[in-house]
Structure 1
């Protein structure tokens, strides 16, 4: 275990150095606006819930979502299209490690060259470390060790810089999921592993060395933990973006609505725009954390991110690649264990349609 402690120590030192170089800038809506608009959570809620039109829109939207959920539970088991789609997504499981490595590696390389630390609101001269971690993840070399280094680096920056780093908290989900699932294929690690386990090769003499994957297996941490980790930390990220960034500090979000004239796209009040955006993000977060209609929530999050990028032309694309990729990963994995998708929702579906045994997710 000595080599594991040395690796952890080096990772912690790297994280502390990078955190020391970090300089917090402004704060996800602040990606596209620097305005210091006035406004508070109390004023936002008062403006929304004192307006009969806004209340009617929220009520209608809530009933529509409830109807969609009940309809899915009632008919999902009898619609072959849903069954085939679910099975097709599950068949992509072998590509999950590669998808995770791309989702984390690419934005890290971009962040290193762009001069920011994980999130564009925190400037840092950490090109070598971030680009190195990103390239190694993309190449799949030392994958689990590199993911551990990235995780400690992020946590060190979070401890030092504070709240602005929460805008990129999806990296926690990515690093942890990579640690659990490993490099997969194609990867340099898999090629090296095959050389080690093949008799007669030069590397076969290293066959007895314990790997990080072996240590995790010994600790009872299996690949099946990946969906749970993805759900939990992605969910917390969406909750933070919806509640803290939209509801509790609506000023910048209102400035975004004004800057891009979003009320011309959907003719509602600016306050309802901000409240509704926060509500959708928070709902996706709750769905992820509880494992409720996980694939539907992942699709909603993906569409939300896509429309944001198309609607806000100067929004930094690189800063959202991790969220894009990890939401796509949940489309493949589904909810996994410890979820309402695997417990309560199937029972509700069976009650609505006793002749069917629908899998809610």
Structure 2
């Protein structure tokens, strides 16, 4: 008898869950259509964050001239060789295994804060973008204040977190269709999908309301059935939460590739304008073309390393260092545009690569070598 009741309750909860999911998808579609109507109006916007004009140079001409110039190719090849030899030497020598293991253990202690970290990393930029008068990226000067501030604060408070993350993702994708320059913020895809997987965590309004709803004899628990359904939904997606780091690093990696290839190597005019604006050739006395090639290939290589999960924590640390250097070196660069990138990189420092990463193979090889050394010594 009890089993039958539990079965009926399970079916009822599943029906409610399916209804809520359908409602969420419907709301997301309606919001997407409304946003598409708003964004379809003509607006003016700077093509990039810190410069308004770019040099008149074609990408093909720039690539051909640069890659046939020994002054440019020589330092690039030398840098690539040094990085490759350093990675090979590290894998062979493994100089500080205890330190690396201790660092990984220390980072894993912050795993419970990952949902909170993700929420503030995307909530703050959304609120800032709303008040600053642009849509997600400073390159898109669209006043969507109410939408972005509402979504941002809901993420910050952690209220209806998964639904809000999916709605925000739908808004971003609609904007991407209208303004392809939103590819500059492609980390929103990986970050928002990761939030949809890990949920709100704590501290969050969702956690508090769920505890109140589940409390014995609470009046709130009598009227709020949403959090019962949320628990069922959570049980269904629990097996997939492990993929959140994978989604995050692929999203961050593709962002770096877009910045390196799309915004530097294929649009050298804008990158050369940045070099001129901040007189970077006086900081490091090399040709402006080498600055652009070096930045472009570095970002593309870092992005590729993140996508395949190679030295993920080290790559995330390098990404944070690059963001910090950019903020200090380019004072006009909007800080809010990089908060989500900082959050994504910090997440990878905590979680590591996740499934489907080269790092997992490398760690397996390290373990076998350690076992072989131990058995030989024994």
**By the TM > 0.5 criterion, same fold?**
yes
Deviations 1:238-260 (CA, angstroms, capped at 9, x unpaired):
11111111111110001000111
Residue 160 of structure 2 corresponds to residue 142 of structure 1: yes
Residue 26 of structure 2 corresponds to residue 9 of structure 1: yes
- Structure 1: where are the runs of 5+ without partners? none
Do the aligned partners of residues 9 and 320 (structure 1) sit closer, same or farther apart at CA in structure 2, a change above 3 Å counting?
A: same
Do the aligned partners of residues 36 and 213 (structure 1) sit closer, same or farther apart at CA in structure 2, a change above 3 Å counting?
A: farther
Do the aligned partners of residues 356 and 47 (structure 1) sit closer, same or farther apart at CA in structure 2, a change above 3 Å counting?
A: farther
Q: SS at 2:56's partner residue?
A: coil
Query: Which of 259, 264, 271 is residue 253 of structure 1 equivalent to?
Result: 271
- Residues 55 and 269 in structure 2, CA contact (< 8 A), matched pair in contact too: yes
Residue 357 of structure 2 corresponds to residue 339 of structure 1: yes
2:65 and 2:121 map into 1 onto residues whose CA distance is 39
**Residue 51 of structure 1: aligned partner:** 69
- Residues 78 and 356 in structure 1, CA contact (< 8 A), matched pair in contact too: no
- Report how far residue 168 of structure 1 moved: 1.3
1:213 and 1:125 map into 2 onto residues whose CA distance is 37
Residue 248 of structure 2 corresponds to residue 230 of structure 1: yes
Residue 258 of structure 2 corresponds to residue 240 of structure 1: yes
Deviates more, 1:205-214 or 1:223-232: 205-214
- Residues 249 and 344 in structure 2, CA contact (< 8 A), matched pair in contact too: no
**Residue 25 of structure 1: aligned partner:** 45
Do the aligned partners of residues 175 and 166 (structure 1) sit closer, same or farther apart at CA in structure 2, a change above 3 Å counting?
A: same
**Residue 328 of structure 1: aligned partner:** 346
**Residue 199 of structure 2: aligned partner:** 182
- Report how far residue 271 of structure 1 moved: 0.8
Deviations 1:126-173 (CA, angstroms, capped at 9, x unpaired):
1111000100110111111111111111111112x1311111111111
Q: SS at 2:373's partner residue?
A: coil
Aligned residues: 354
Do the aligned partners of residues 44 and 208 (structure 1) sit closer, same or farther apart at CA in structure 2, a change above 3 Å counting?
A: closer
TM-score, with normalisation over the residues of structure 1? Answer: 0.91
Do the aligned partners of residues 122 and 356 (structure 1) sit closer, same or farther apart at CA in structure 2, a change above 3 Å counting?
A: farther
2:359 and 2:77 map into 1 onto residues whose CA distance is 25
Deviates more, 1:140-149 or 1:65-74: 65-74
Q: SS at 2:140's partner residue?
A: strand
- Structure 2: where are the runs of 5+ without partners? 1-17
What is the alpha-carbon root mean square deviation over aligned residues?
2.2
- Report how far residue 213 of structure 1 moved: 5.9
- Report how far residue 216 of structure 1 moved: 5.4
- Report how far residue 279 of structure 1 moved: 0.7
1:71 and 1:346 map into 2 onto residues whose CA distance is 18
- Report how far residue 85 of structure 1 moved: 1.2
TM-score, with normalisation over the residues of structure 2? Answer: 0.88
